[in-house]
Amino acid sequence: MTTVENKTKVTILTGTYRVKGYIDLLPGARVTDYLVESKDFIAVTDAEVWELGNRHVLNAPFINVSLDHIQIVTPGE
């Protein structure tokens, strides 16, 4: 079960979308390590998806984001 301490807020940019949500990251782990250890997708919970032109696309309790499409990931807002 995921605890609040394991949730790390991230903003992910792809070529088309901005995704805000949480990834399950162990305390002390780095986002970079999480991405390197991931296979094809990363799980994002409490996700908000926006087109880069600021049109809201969807909110979802869970989405998978393809690593092939990720251009930037930053912790926090």
Q: Which domains does the chain have, with CATH numbers?
A: 4-75 (2.30.30.100)
pLDDT number for residue 33? 86
DSSP 12-71: EEESSEEEEEEEE--TT--HHHHHHH--SEEEEEEEEEEETTS-EEEEEEEEEEEGGGEE
- Give the Cα separation of 50 and 40 in Å (integer): 22
Per-residue pLDDT, averaged over 2-30, amounts to: 87
**Phi, psi dihedrals of residue 73, rounded to the nearest 5°:** -130, 130
**β-pairing, 70-75 with 7-14?**
antiparallel
Q: Is the pLDDT of residue 1 over 60?
A: no
User: Which pTM does this prediction carry?
Assistant: 0.87
Per-residue pLDDT, averaged over 14-20, amounts to: 96
